[in-house]
Structure 1
Amino acid sequence: MRLTVASLNTRGTPLLSSQLSSRYAALGAAFEAAEVDVVNLQEVWTHYHLWQLIRAMPSYRFTSFRRSLAGPAGGLLTLSRLPVVRTRYHRLSALKGVLATALPGVTVANTHLLANRDGDWSESNRYYSKHQAQLAALSRVLPALEPPLVLSGDFNLARDSSLYGQLVRAVGLVDAFGADCPPTFHAAYLPPGRTPHCIDYAFVTSSMTVDVARLNQSLPSDHLGLEVRIHVDSVG
């Protein structure tokens, strides 16, 4: 089985002038023209914006999300050109979770962890213990998901921090980008003096072979998009 999965945090900054509606239309057009089977989207917070994305991506006929009062739970939405067999949402904390979408022969999971507003992933930072708690919750959720598994999203953990090693251990999967992890956040959206980091990832079950793993810099968001093309060698 061959599969191409894309992932993108859609929100954009600054929050009050992100031109979300027009950007979602542009995002939809970009994915409609792409050879992508499944798209994991983060920070889709309202039902209105959920509807906008679904309308802008008509070839992705199958939707996966958990409904909440305001919009998709955890801001997580998965759109697929392949039939969705089952959807499950697993809560990690008050506003964070993992959306697991079962497709024929594979599970695609989508997540978004707590943002680090300080840009500091050292052990003395105020977010460090919170990130550890979310990684512990993630490690409890993932074993319940049926393999083979693709997991992607905005993890908000810098590749060059000690938390990345904890992340790899928590998910128990293979980083699809291997050692090649350039920044996944546009420098133009950072405060002056801040350095962009690799904070978005795609992980796969070891039974999968990664044919292509690349970043998409052209999508209208503060994050770069991820795109991973894989095939499953065996189930396990």
Structure 2
Amino acid sequence: MTTTLDVVSLNVFVGLRSRGAPARSRAVEFCRRLTDLDVDVLLLQEVWTRSLLRFIGARLPSLPHVACRPGLAGQPAGGLAVFSRRSLCAPTYTAFTKTRPGNGNPVFRGKSAVSCRLQGVLTVRTADGKLVLGNTQLTANRDGDWSQANRHHRIHRQQVRIVHDAMRTAGAHTAPLSVLGGDFNIASTSPLYPLIVDNGAWHDPFALTDQPTYRAEYLPAGRTANRIDYLLVSGQPVTSADLILAEPVHLDSGTSFLSDHLAPRIRLHGSRVDGGDSLAV
């Protein structure tokens, strides 16, 4: 039986600079909408507490399998979690601790070092070994400068290489299907874009439309919104790609966007395995 593998990536917007409605209020609504869409895999960034992870998981009954690695305080390491309809193997988390900023003043280098310790890439395979998933969030660049001269360029270059190394170690490009997503914090117009797609090893189904994924409403006046979130694919053709969770919603605390990011969504064709366990691709 042919069906569709539906994958979504979402930054849930729980950082220190978050100006959105309370995370749990927004989570109730985005979980409801993702359940209605019948999503098979959900990659979440900025899930910074155990309690928020449990809260979200309780509202995603169709995605009972969860992958994350515990941080020092028991929180999801890197704020990263994967929810899946299919059974998952034990995940691996790789922090960006080997990253070394080369530019900027001592304060910037110190903040960057902390960020690199807190962030990284989560990789996991489905139990049948047919799908490799990667979820990441790189250091934020709030400068509005994506050129090679920007102080974040060297940090990001190193982080992207760590992401690809982790994915290859997990079996990306050798499994029938590999999906890498997350908040890369690198604009698609950046000179680092070829490195993001690993010089063509990954297919970027959003490249043609290239719509911004970060909301202009959260940028300083005059800044241009960019595409900084990605869902990349290796091994199977993508049948559709779009951005969801775009409209403001009415919550108890008032009208709010569900995140400062839009959520990339892709669909791929595959065949359902015995027992109804989503897809074999």
- Please give the TM-score of this superposition, normalised by the length of structure 1: 0.91
1:102 aligned onto 2:125: yes
Which position in structure 2 is the counterpart of 1:163? 192
> What residue identity is the alignment partner of 1:6?
V
- Stretches of structure 2 that go unaligned for 5 or more consecutive residues are 98-116, 248-256, 272-279
Q: Is the 8 A contact 1:211 1:229 kept in 2?
A: yes
> What residue identity is the alignment partner of 1:108?
L
Q: Is the 8 A contact 1:109 1:152 kept in 2?
A: yes
Which position in structure 1 is the counterpart of 2:243? 215
- Separation in 2 of the partners of 1:171 and 1:73? 29
Segment of structure 1 superposing worse, 114-123 or 164-173: 164-173
Matches within 5 A, 1:191-230: 191-205=220-234, 207-216=235-244, 217-218=246-247, 220-230=258-268
Which position in structure 2 is the counterpart of 1:9? 11
Choose which of 18, 39, 62 in structure 2 pairs with 1:36.
39
1:139 aligned onto 2:141: no
What is the alpha-carbon root mean square deviation over aligned residues?
2.2
- Separation in 1 of the partners of 2:199 and 2:138? 13
Q: For 1:174, what is the secondary structure of its paired residue? A: coil
Which position in structure 1 is the counterpart of 2:23? 20
Map Cα deviations across residues 168-227 of structure 1 (whole Å, 9 max, x no partner): 22783111223221000111111111110000011111x201001110113610000011
- Please give the TM-score of this superposition, normalised by the length of structure 2: 0.77
- Separation in 1 of the partners of 2:55 and 2:200? 32
- Separation in 2 of the partners of 1:44 and 1:69? 14
- Stretches of structure 1 that go unaligned for 5 or more consecutive residues are none
**Does the C-alpha gap of structure 1 residues 225 and 211 become closer, same or farther in structure 2, counting only changes over 3 Å?**
same
> What residue identity is the alignment partner of 1:118?
D
Structure possessing the higher radius of gyration over alpha carbons: 2
Q: For 1:221, what is the secondary structure of its paired residue? A: coil
1:90 aligned onto 2:94: yes
- Separation in 2 of the partners of 1:92 and 1:189? 26
Q: Is the 8 A contact 2:204 2:232 kept in 1?
A: yes
Q: Is the 8 A contact 1:5 1:228 kept in 2?
A: yes
Work out the number of aligned pairs and report it.
Answer: 234
Q: Is the 8 A contact 1:183 1:198 kept in 2?
A: yes
Map Cα deviations across residues 78-119 of structure 1 (whole Å, 9 max, x no partner): 111111133222223312222112113211111111110112
Q: For 1:162, what is the secondary structure of its paired residue? A: coil
Q: For 1:212, what is the secondary structure of its paired residue? A: strand
- Separation in 2 of the partners of 1:83 and 1:62? 6
* Aligned-pair CA distance for 1:17: 5.4
